[in-house]
Amino acid sequence: VTGAVPSCRRYVAGGRCKSTAKLEGKVVIITGANTGIGKETARDLARRGKVIMACRDVSKAEAAASEIRAETGNQQVIVKKLDLADTKSIREFAEEFLAEEKELHILINNAGVMLCPYSKTADGFEMHLGVNHLGHFLLTFLLLERLKQSAPARIVNVSSLAHHGGRIRFHDLQGEKSYNRGLAYCHSKLANVLFTRELARRLQGKFQRQVEFTANSLHPGSVSSELVRHSLVMTWLWKIFSFFLKTPWEGAQTSVYCAVAEELESVTGQYFSDCQPAYVSPRGRDDETARKLWSVSCELLGIQWD
């Protein structure tokens, strides 16, 4: 039995990013980097290059950043305020970043909310859709030119296996007719996969060499993190089954892999889990839905993104 425990734990831990790639002189933005997977992603990438932690809770983020600076010896770990539930905050963050930084090589759209009771963002979007999809959609749009100028560049969108349970309900995107917080999360994670797919398709058309610019999404695994804080039942289950959950460090491995692995230099529009390509649901491969979601997202955000 003693032999079975470590091997079971190893199975749960999943894939590891083996790349030792350095990011000297490179700039990385990670959203939601003050806790969980985001914090561990920041910790790893801080050993390689400059990291900007884009977080809603600045004091929590500063505490995480000083811990990471002390541990890695990298003073270029910087905290910036970003509230993805407010497009004004997203625009302010982007404006400040563009004024201060001449380059951006990696954007990791990691932040997310899960199982929220029905609520709306500052702009009236349903919270899961607003934060997990629309917030990152707008952020990516605002930073895209800087990423292009800094190419080769990568965009990494943290989705979830939960995308299998999602559907894009165009007739009720804001969940006003019917709302289930578990499904709302699934819908938003499917939106992440579709956004990545359509973004990769559009970027490929723009560049002769697709190596320049990649966009991939991923499932981090079932991770023991604060993401379930809105649900007492899930918090309780997470505690009971913690042995079968990944640690935040294990959960961050695929994000790090998508950000730095040399073999992914020209891989785009893919979905990964445990540091390898993974199965995408049929809904996540529907190009027509992806295109429609793109134009509806632009409409909702009042932007033109061709």
The whole-angstrom separation of Cα 129 and Cα 135 is: 8
Burial grade of 209 (CB within 10 A; 0-12, 13-18, 19 or more): exposed
Q: Per-residue pLDDT for the chain (306 aa), expressed as one digit of tens each? A: 445 545 654 666 688 999 999 999 999 999 999 999 999 999 999 999 999 999 999 999 999 999 999 999 999 999 999 999 999 999 999 999 999 999 999 999 999 998 899 999 999 999 999 999 999 999 999 999 999 999 999 999 999 999 999 999 999 999 999 999 999 999 999 999 999 999 999 998 665 454 589 999 999 987 755 555 555 665 555 565 555 678 889 999 999 999 999 999 999 999 999 999 999 999 999 999 999 999 999 999 999 998
Q: What is the span of the domain harbouring residue 294?
A: 21-299
Number of separate domains in the chain: 1
Residue 192 in domain: yes
Residue 209 in domain: yes
Take residue 198 and report the two structure tokens written for it. Answer: 């359509």
Residue 2 in domain: no
**CATH code of the domain covering residue 197:** 3.40.50.720
Largest Cα–Cα separation, the chain? 59
In 169-214, where does DSSP find H-type helix?
181-206
Nearest CA-CA partner of 40 in 221, 201, 197, 189: 221
Burial grade of 160 (CB within 10 A; 0-12, 13-18, 19 or more): buried
- Cα dihedral 40, 191, 141, 291 sign: positive
The whole-angstrom separation of Cα 239 and Cα 169 is: 33
Residue-level pLDDT at 14: 81
Residues 6 or more apart whose Cβ sits within 8 Å of residue 256: 17, 19, 41, 44, 45
Residue 15 in domain: no
So which residues are the catalytic ones?
185
Residue-level pLDDT at 2: 47
Output the CA angle 287-217-210, nearest 5 degrees.
75
Residue 51 in domain: yes
- pTM above the 0.75 mark? yes
Reported as a single tens digit per residue, the pLDDT across 244-280 is 678 889 999 999 999 999 999 999 999 999 999 999 9
Strand locations in the chain (E): 23-31, 49-55, 77-81, 106-109, 153-158, 213-219, 271-273, 276-277
Nearest CA-CA partner of 171 in 286, 57, 292: 292
